[in-house]
Structure 1
Amino acid sequence: MSLIERAAQRLDQLKQASAEPSDEALQQAVARAAEPAAAKAAPVPEPAPVSEAQSQAAAASLPAHASRGVYIDLAMLEAKGMVTPDRPRSAIAEEYRVIKRPLLRNATDTSEARIENANLIMITSAMPGEGKTFSAINLAVSMAMELDYTVLLVDADVSRPSVFRQLGLPPERGLMDVLAGDATDLGDVLLRTNIEKLSILPAGMPHARATELLASENMNRLLKQMATRYSDRIIIFDSPPLLVTTESRVLATHMGQVVVVVEAERTTHASIKQALATIESCPIKLMMLNKARRQSHGSYYGYGYGYGYGETARENAA
């Protein structure tokens, strides 16, 4: 029924009541007839915009358990010859216990000679296949077993993400999505794990301008946030090989420590020298000998800087 028809109906009702409609009654009739239409057409007020500062403050106030979680199959890790929290006295756990000690000492140094961003530790290699991802995961799990630290493992091999593949997990949004602006906050893509004190930041979706994103001001801000937000956090970056892509060289400029994994009996001295030359600006550079054989038993020997769990470990090293 239209507005005019409703007003006419109201006037008929007034006439039947033997009352001559006044001008005021006419106005009231029209107003009352228009009420339903006006109510239907009333606009819904839009919520007030939230400023960037308010958004950041809200994200910072979220508890640590607000992020999503993923389940890591510890039996699978053990079968691959990797460090697991439920086997703290295994041979490989003992080896990585030795490897992590100088890294933790550098990361927590409070003297005047302390290194800036020493809690940002990049694990890399000269060439693919030397065991950097295997070593990054083992270091992260081993450090998470410490009483005084929390650990964030970052899959920074953005061209060929390997951490999630090694852990048997499907791809997730992550680092590249935050840098590209497709994820609004770091907390949206951080993943808790069933290993106490260990969280993971996936590489995220592939991006054609990955090198530029890693060298961007957004990356600088993100790393500063990651390095300073939690005083007890150690951050392990699994990066691409130094001689294959440029992303690792860019990433190394932000790191306090770099560990170069070297495969025994395969990596040449020339490759090692060339790789080290690309990260000259990094204040602390350590080397980890990997896949070395113990001549007396024919097994792999870590010398404190490798892993020694036989053929299984070798086959699964990334």
Structure 2
Amino acid sequence: MSIIEKAASRIDQQRQAATPASAGNAERDPIAGEHPGSVLVAAEPISAGQPATAAEAGAAMAPAPASATTRSGARRVQLDLARMREQGMVTAAGGRTNLLEEFRVIKRPLLKRAFAERAPHKNPGNLIMITSSLPGEGKTYSSINLAMSIAMELDHTVLLVDADVARPSVMRTLGLPAQRGLMDILVDDSIDVSDVLLRTNVETLAILPAGTSTPHATELLASSAMTALVHELAHRYPDRVIIFDSPPLMLTSESRELASHMGQIVVVVEAQTTTQHAVKEALHRLEGFENVNLIYNKTRDLPGIEEKYDYHYG
């Protein structure tokens, strides 16, 4: 049985096991029209790894001005953590919630692979791409929550890259204005990463915006400049995880070009909405890539935003 057939079979099993209340009460996420709540299904089997440590909750959340410049030249932006929690996102300041615990389960195997030994010709495991078949399935929401969860680690830092250059949504979702970013670096070799990188009041989290829109995005993502940039991001800091919020697989060619640089790929699938055909087609476009996993984004009929998330391995 192929990886596509295995993934489709698991999604079928999850749908058959879904309760009527879950199917009939799906709510749209107020941020970007995405379904909150998920089940993570591995297209390739992965283990849950070691349990999270209690020390994660001590992640630094130092206040900062809305816009400032650090000594390294990177500007600093202020994330509204209270607003993020109200909209169902992971924050250490929000206390111990189901959402926080469940993202700990998601990140464990990803982190294990991120820093595992690899063959010289393999892409670095700390490059993780989050994508979906179609828009609105929850990829940006999942990207931000995963980044926030990893930022709570004591031994790792995280860089969140908005690589959905045709329809960037990371900055908008976080309530931040659009900025220069990824595309500007690739177009203008005089621009350094540090010129456009945004430090945040979550001390272990930085953001690289999508930057200026261009009709040549596919070519730029396939260019030697992108290869050099990705290599620099992956190796500049040994403790860093880089998460790319990618374009949907079935709408653009940029996502496959981006996938060619990645060490791990996560495909978000919206429950009760994404068809099995769409999932198969999306995974077909990733045929040949290793470490492909699925997040099955499934709303549950439970009170409280943070309790509508159920992420586990199928």
Range class of TM-score, shorter chain: 0.7 to 0.9
User: Which letter does structure 2 place at the counterpart of 1:201?
Assistant: L
1:162-187 CA-partner distances (Å, limit 9, x unpaired): 00000000000000000001752111
Partners of 1:237 and 1:271 in 2: CA distance: 21
Structure 2 length as normaliser, TM-score?
0.73
Instruction: Report the 3-state secondary structure (helix = DSSP H, G, I; strand = E; otherwise coil) of the residue aligned with 1:122.
Output: strand
1:66-104 CA-partner distances (Å, limit 9, x unpaired): 311111000110110100121241111111111001100
Determine if the alignment matches structure 1 residue 240 to structure 2 residue 247: yes
Match of 1:127 in 2: 134
RMSD: 2.4
**Structure with greater Cα Rg:** 1
Q: Point out where structure 1 has 5 or more consecutive residues left out of the alignment.
A: 1-62, 307-318
Q: Which has the higher contact order (CA 8 A, sep 6+)?
A: 2
Match of 2:100 in 1: 93
Instruction: Tell me if structure 2 keeps the 8 A contact 1:127–1:242.
Output: yes
Partners of 2:300 and 2:170 in 1: CA distance: 25
Match of 2:232 in 1: 225
User: Which letter does structure 1 place at the counterpart of 2:249?
Assistant: L
Instruction: Report the 3-state secondary structure (helix = DSSP H, G, I; strand = E; otherwise coil) of the residue aligned with 1:293.
Output: coil
Distance 1:153 1:305, change over 3 A: farther
User: Which letter does structure 1 place at the counterpart of 2:112?
Assistant: R
Partners of 1:103 and 1:297 in 2: CA distance: 27
1:280 Cα offset (Å): 1.7
Partners of 1:189 and 1:269 in 2: CA distance: 39
Q: Which of 270, 288, 297 is the aligned partner of 1:263?
A: 270
1:250 Cα offset (Å): 0.8
Match of 1:55 in 2: none
Instruction: Report the 3-state secondary structure (helix = DSSP H, G, I; strand = E; otherwise coil) of the residue aligned with 1:262.
Output: strand
Q: Point out where structure 2 has 5 or more consecutive residues left out of the alignment.
A: 1-69
Match of 1:159 in 2: 166
1:218-255 CA-partner distances (Å, limit 9, x unpaired): 00000011111111100000011100111111100110
1:6-155 correspondence to structure 2 within 5 Å: 65-110=72-117, 116-155=123-162
Structure 1 length as normaliser, TM-score?
0.72
1:293 Cα offset (Å): 2.5
Distance 1:231 1:271, change over 3 A: same
1:291 Cα offset (Å): 2.5
Please list every run of at least 4 consecutive aligned residues from structure 1 whose deviation after the TM superposition is greater than 4 angstroms: 111-115, 294-299
User: Which letter does structure 1 place at the counterpart of 2:225?
Assistant: N
Determine if the alignment matches structure 1 residue 289 to structure 2 residue 296: yes
Match of 1:187 in 2: 194
Instruction: Report the 3-state secondary structure (helix = DSSP H, G, I; strand = E; otherwise coil) of the residue aligned with 2:92.
Output: coil
Instruction: Report the 3-state secondary structure (helix = DSSP H, G, I; strand = E; otherwise coil) of the residue aligned with 2:295.
Output: strand
Distance 1:122 1:193, change over 3 A: same
